[in-house]
A and B are shown apart, each in its own frame.
Chain A
Amino acid sequence: MNRWGYYVTGTALAILFLFPLVWSGWASVRTDSGFGAENYARLFTSANGIRPVHVLNSVIVSATTVGGTLIVATFAGYAFGRFKFPGRDLLFLLTLAILMVPYATILIALYVLLGWLGLEDSLVGLSIVLIVFQLPFSVFMMRNSFEAVPVELEESARVDGCTSLGTLVRIMLPAVRPGLVTVGLFAFLTSWSEFFAPLILLNSTDKFTTVLAVVNMRTASHGSIDYAALEAGVVFMAVPCLVLFAFMQRSYVRGFTSGALKG
């Protein structure tokens, strides 16, 4: 394709892809009389809208999921990347198999299982499920990161008398930081925006995450839908993701493509 064809096609497509995002920002501040924050005010005050507790719930679920995923995936990635132990290959295969069994199909069983464990309608239960479905990608990613660290680095630390955990925390973690950033970012984007798992696992409105609350504004309304307030909700949920994405896009895309290549 010649240069002009490339630029015209690329620009036209970029406009098409960016337009919905720009439009939702515009629609969220558009009011009958001009522009203002009224849609946002309705989003946070209407009977079915977002309450502070919903935002808090989302923050709790996201923080637990990101923290839990980082801890479990770091340990497991280190184990798979640097140690040999019985059952290692089986466990690694099982972890990757989670990818092949999308959780929509086992969520009914998870609902029953969490009930048996006393974790029904619980933010902790939801976070555990989100962590588990984050594992295939993040364990794979961390294993690759640890494998890429030179063995000498670890051995010199051991000679210096570091314990295994000390070596991991002080020597290895700084070396795998790009992997940690990608894994954490992925875990945040997924847990912050996840809809189906909280829909199934959370029952009471006090436990709702922000996404559930906003969708509830649409599904619980029997009369007309307040579209403008919905767009305000879309912006409210998208802004943290877009900000994070802007800051970390480089490592996100790089981590992603390196993982995909090795797969």
Chain B
Amino acid sequence: MRRRAVIGALYATPAAVLVVLFFVAPLLLVGWMSLHRWPLLGKPRVNAPDNYTAIGDNALLTTAAWFTLRYTVIITVLLFVIAFGLALLVQNRRKGVGFFRTAFFLPMAVGFASASLLFLGLLSEEIGPLPLADGSPALGSAVLLVLWRFAGFNMLILLTGLQAIPVDVYEAARIDGATRWQTFRRITVPLMRPTIALVLTMMVTGSLLAFDQFWILTRGGPDNSTTSLVMLIYREAFVRLDLGSAAGISVVLLVLLAVVSSVQLTVLRRRSA
């Protein structure tokens, strides 16, 4: 029995080394760095809590935080409604359903950066068949892109939740004379709460970390109006060459994400209680 424990531990060693060295260590390091003036080149020295107090004075950060928040709300609401609609449309086995599922999911096979480049051309005035009007094209184009790319992916996850609901529950509701809307509100949504929580958390955290789409589509412009938080981290680190400040913003973002994740856990636990 002892021997088996040793063998098991040996099999787990490569994963353990990778997790400790390239996950736990950088997690601690980012906190350590945030307490230092840490130039890209040259020696770091302690300057706590300057990196954190500087966050309050960073005007661009306020803009970026508000923009990221606004973007997160828009994406979460639209993406959830569309993905749920698609999942309801293709939940039953009927003719053509396999084709529809594949069509909705296929954009996921294109890398996100490639998809951003695709939409850059698609929405351009030079070669695009649907150039966006000059109203607020920057945010709108990113929203369109994300809806196209991720609706099918979220549809698939919601579909697994929908299909986990036993048929007899619907059967019973039908016999009791429930309308379609009542069935949806009283049965489908409550029974799908864990799946819905998972999907919403992924949407919120994914949007809070938005980078590729704005980097490629809008370059953060016009006038920094579409600069996201992660773009700001990149700029602090590699344009302003101040890794300490970038680490400080990262830590704040990490805490924010931890809060979102723990809210999800609470929702999940309440259901199993």
Tell me which of B6, B12, B216, B230 has the highest count of chain A C-beta atoms within 10 A of its own C-beta.
Answer: B12
A30 to B117, CA, bound (A): 17
The residues of B that contact A233 with a CB separation of less than 8 Å are 114, 117
Of B58-66, B99-107, B134-142, B185-193, the segment with at least 4 beta carbons within 8 Å of chain A is: B99-107
Closest 3 CB pairs of A and B: A193-B111, A83-B8, A195-B113
User: Which of A10, A27, A98, A256 lies in contact with B89, CB distance below 8 A?
Assistant: A10
The residues of A that contact B9 with a CB separation of less than 8 Å are 79, 83, 85-87
Q: Tell me if A33 is interfacial: C-beta within 8 Å of chain B.
A: no
In the complex, the answer to whether A227 meets B121 with C-beta atoms within 8 Å is yes
Contact A76 to B110, CB < 8 A, known contacts A234-B117, A257-B156: no
Of A12-20, A47-55, A173-181, the segment with at least 4 beta carbons within 8 Å of chain B is: A12-20
In the complex, the answer to whether A227 meets B16 with C-beta atoms within 8 Å is no
Task: Other than A102-B257, A110-B26, A233-B117, give 12 A-B pairs with Cβ distance below 8 A.
Answer: A13-B89, A14-B100, A17-B106, A20-B107, A72-B18, A75-B12, A85-B8, A112-B243, A128-B18, A227-B121, A231-B117, A249-B102
The residues of A that contact B26 with a CB separation of less than 8 Å are 106, 109-110, 113
Q: How many residues of B contact A (CB 8 A)?
A: 86
| A-B residue pair count with CB separations less than 8 angstroms | 258
Q: Tell me if B75 is interfacial: C-beta within 8 Å of chain A.
A: no
The residues of A that contact B71 with a CB separation of less than 8 Å are none
> Helix, strand, loop or mixed for chain B's interface?
helix
A112 to B40, CA, bound (A): 9
Contact A101 to B27, CB < 8 A, known contacts A17-B103, A18-B106: yes
In the complex, the answer to whether B30 meets A106 with C-beta atoms within 8 Å is yes
The residues of B that contact A91 with a CB separation of less than 8 Å are 12, 15-16, 19
Q: Tell me if B146 is interfacial: C-beta within 8 Å of chain A.
A: no
Contact A108 to B250, CB < 8 A, known contacts A21-B107, A135-B15, A218-B216: yes
The residues of B that contact A231 with a CB separation of less than 8 Å are 117-118, 121, 127
User: Which of B12, B30, B124 lies in contact with A79, CB distance below 8 A?
Assistant: B12
In the complex, the answer to whether B246 meets A24 with C-beta atoms within 8 Å is no
A126 to chain B, nearest CB (A): 12
A191 to B111, CA, bound (A): 9
Question: B164 — nearest CB in chain A belongs to which residue?
Answer: A261
Q: Tell me if A7 is interfacial: C-beta within 8 Å of chain B.
A: yes
A253 to B115, CA, bound (A): 21
In the complex, the answer to whether B103 meets A14 with C-beta atoms within 8 Å is yes
Question: A95 — nearest CB in chain B belongs to which residue?
Answer: B19
The residues of A that contact B261 with a CB separation of less than 8 Å are 100
In the complex, the answer to whether A131 meets B219 with C-beta atoms within 8 Å is no
In the complex, the answer to whether A105 meets B250 with C-beta atoms within 8 Å is yes
User: Which of B96, B102, B211, B247 lies in contact with A109, CB distance below 8 A?
Assistant: B247
The residues of A that contact B111 with a CB separation of less than 8 Å are 189, 192-195, 211, 237-238, 241
In the complex, the answer to whether B233 meets A76 with C-beta atoms within 8 Å is no
The residues of B that contact A129 with a CB separation of less than 8 Å are 22
Q: Tell me if B84 is interfacial: C-beta within 8 Å of chain A.
A: no
